[in-house]
Structure 1
Amino acid sequence: MKFNFVKKLALAVAVIYAPLQSMAWGTNGHRISGQIAENHLTPKALAAVKAILGTESIAMASNWADFIKSDPAYNYLYNWHFVDFERPMSYPEMTEYLNHDTEPNAYNKLEFLIAELKKPSTTKENKLLYLRMLIHITEDIHQPMHTAHASDKGGNDFKVNWFSKPTNLHSIWDTELINFQELSYTEYVKAIDHPTTAQIKAWQAAPVSKWVFESATLAEQFYTEIKPGDTLNYKYNFTHIDILNEQLLKGGIRLAGLLNEIFG
């Protein structure tokens, strides 16, 4: 009995701390966008999502794809979280590249998930997997460093400091900026979930390729503003908080648009 308790405790600790080693919006970032999405679902779409997720909210489901990274059985999902590029591209160039790249990435796997969730023949088990992944990947695409340089692993090898803490550019956008606001995910949602009708319409009308292009453009901006070894602190937060909040909001609004299209 004691041994089983220890094993269960170790598993619980692993689940709690797994996101800290992930390459995605941090736990709070995903939950913020997930709750925003749930706030903007049609009643029909919400009912369909609940039928698949059960008691698990979209906010909670949004981190599943990071939690299971510790399970080798899901290693095949690794490349689904990002789409990196060798060089800056115009929108037509990027669209051409995305439509012809056959290697698994966030763009082509999101398109796959959308198609599979629309099929009546998709099994209940696969619907759960696909919905959890669609939620997560939609949110990941709106974290700009998930559409960044392949050469530095989306900013993971771009070393900087956050105040006195050594970190990297990817982690700045995953967790540091969000955690610096010192808000729970529900408090954060209350603070930023105020899009205009025009914003919702425009953001949801944009194709997935445009989402990727917008994020990649932001990533290029972030690269040019600083150099490796720089220390980022209060000023970086002040000059980037509006971008952060808009990306979190966009991710949630666009996720709601996808789910409303699929299930509404």
Structure 2
Amino acid sequence: MKKRFFWIGILFLSFQMAAANGIVWGKTGHRVTGHVAEYHLSKKAKKALSKLLGGHSLAFVSTYADEIKSDRSYSSYSPWHYVNYPLDVRYADSEKSEFGDIVRGSETCIKVLKDPNSTREDKIFHLKMLVHFIGDLHQPMHVGRSDDRGGNDIQLQWFNEGTNLHRVWDTNLIESYGMSYEELGNELIRSHKRKEVKALMQGSVLDWVEETHEITKVVYASVNKGEKLRYAYSYRFNDTVFDQLHRGGVRLAYLLNSIYG
């Protein structure tokens, strides 16, 4: 009997560790984006955001929008994490979801933050959501096709592990590089000149979605269903991943600076 409980305990701990790893893996990219954004905030914006977030960093709150998915009372916000439309169509000409999408969700967050009549509670909530959404809209599979749910239905192998195209871009490529979000974020900050950063600080949410949509086309064409991806895929797309993480951070800072000075 004792032996039986021992093995049950081992299995339980293994499950807990696997679950914890799954949770952590989905967060690195968002924290990189938040970390980069924090570096590019104006002094006035930093002060305002610190006051709203109780001293927490943008990296710390960047995963909030995913964390609340376990609470059904927030289920109406789930469609705000992505937008799906055909690869040969522009967003403006696409059929819009009645439940909203990442473009309208982000614009709603910006509107609430700019409104002087918004409550403090509403501002804190929509700030956390916006930090997450700007990260999401720079991930190509969050601007994908509806028929495969943004690559979730395209099953692949990452080395010897089962995965899908969405997860490859959400998690596998970033985590396999082996850097913490601070290490990767600092590398992205130091490797881009001020002139490059300034060039990214323009445009709108819609402009950035269309830009990502062009990358999405390349990503879809990069794999065949059931394919085993290895080092060659990382070598080919690491720069794209890092570039999108950096763009997301710089543009998040651009939005927050425009709102808070």
Could you say whether these structures have the same fold, taking a TM-score greater than 0.5 normalized by the shorter chain as the test? yes
Match of 2:185 among 183, 186, 189: 189
Q: Residue 81 of structure 2 corresponds to which residue in structure 1?
A: 81
1:156 equivalent in alignment to 2:152: yes
Distance in 2 between residues matched to 1:18 and 1:127, nearest whole Å: 30
Distance in 1 between residues matched to 2:20 and 2:119, nearest whole Å: 28
SS at match of 1:247: helix
Root-mean-square deviation over aligned CA pairs: 2.1
SS at match of 1:55: coil
Distance in 2 between residues matched to 1:77 and 1:174, nearest whole Å: 19
Superposition pairs of residues 55-204 of structure 1, within 5 angstroms = 55-89=55-89, 93-97=90-94, 103-193=99-189, 194-204=191-201
Distance in 2 between residues matched to 1:150 and 1:192, nearest whole Å: 32
Return 5+ residue gaps in structure 2 as ranges: 1-14
SS at match of 1:154: coil
Distance in 2 between residues matched to 1:148 and 1:18, nearest whole Å: 27
**Per-residue deviation, 1:157:** 0.2
Distance in 2 between residues matched to 1:144 and 1:18, nearest whole Å: 25
Q: Residue 9 of structure 2 corresponds to which residue in structure 1?
A: none
1:246/1:42 Cα in 2 relative to 1: closer, same or farther (>3 Å)?
same
Distance in 2 between residues matched to 1:61 and 1:253, nearest whole Å: 17
1:162-186 Cα offsets, whole Å, 9 max, x none, are 0011100000000100100111111
Question: TM-score scaled by structure 1?
Answer: 0.87
Q: Is the 8 A contact 1:156 1:169 kept in 2?
A: yes
Higher mean C-alpha deviation, range 121-130 or range 217-226: 217-226
**Per-residue deviation, 1:83:** 0.5
Distance in 2 between residues matched to 1:103 and 1:35, nearest whole Å: 30
Letter of the 1:112 partner, please give it: T
Q: Is the 8 A contact 1:19 1:66 kept in 2?
A: no
Distance in 1 between residues matched to 2:79 and 2:150, nearest whole Å: 12
Distance in 2 between residues matched to 1:83 and 1:21, nearest whole Å: 23
Distance in 1 between residues matched to 2:97 and 2:209, nearest whole Å: 14
Q: Residue 243 of structure 2 corresponds to which residue in structure 1?
A: 246
Q: Residue 3 of structure 2 corresponds to which residue in structure 1?
A: none
1:33 equivalent in alignment to 2:33: yes
Distance in 1 between residues matched to 2:57 and 2:169, nearest whole Å: 24
Question: TM-score scaled by structure 2?
Answer: 0.88
1:226 equivalent in alignment to 2:223: yes
SS at match of 2:156: strand
Letter of the 1:208 partner, please give it: V
Percent identical among aligned pairs is 37
Distance in 2 between residues matched to 1:255 and 1:17, nearest whole Å: 30
Q: Is the 8 A contact 1:142 1:250 kept in 2?
A: yes
Q: Residue 7 of structure 1 corresponds to which residue in structure 2?
A: none
Distance in 2 between residues matched to 1:211 and 1:95, nearest whole Å: 13
Distance in 1 between residues matched to 2:259 and 2:20, nearest whole Å: 30
Distance in 2 between residues matched to 1:125 and 1:199, nearest whole Å: 35
Distance in 2 between residues matched to 1:216 and 1:47, nearest whole Å: 34
SS at match of 1:85: coil
**Per-residue deviation, 1:208:** 1.4
**Per-residue deviation, 1:200:** 1.9
**Per-residue deviation, 1:201:** 2.2
Q: Residue 4 of structure 1 corresponds to which residue in structure 2?
A: none
Greater Rg by CA: 2
Q: Residue 10 of structure 1 corresponds to which residue in structure 2?
A: none
SS at match of 2:221: helix
Q: Is the 8 A contact 1:81 1:146 kept in 2?
A: yes
Letter of the 1:236 partner, please give it: Y
Distance in 2 between residues matched to 1:191 and 1:32, nearest whole Å: 10
Q: Residue 211 of structure 1 corresponds to which residue in structure 2?
A: 208
Q: Residue 259 of structure 2 corresponds to which residue in structure 1?
A: 262
Letter of the 1:211 partner, please give it: W
1:183-231 Cα offsets, whole Å, 9 max, x none, are 1111111211132223222222122112111211111111112110001
SS at match of 2:157: strand
Return 5+ residue gaps in structure 1 as ranges: 1-12
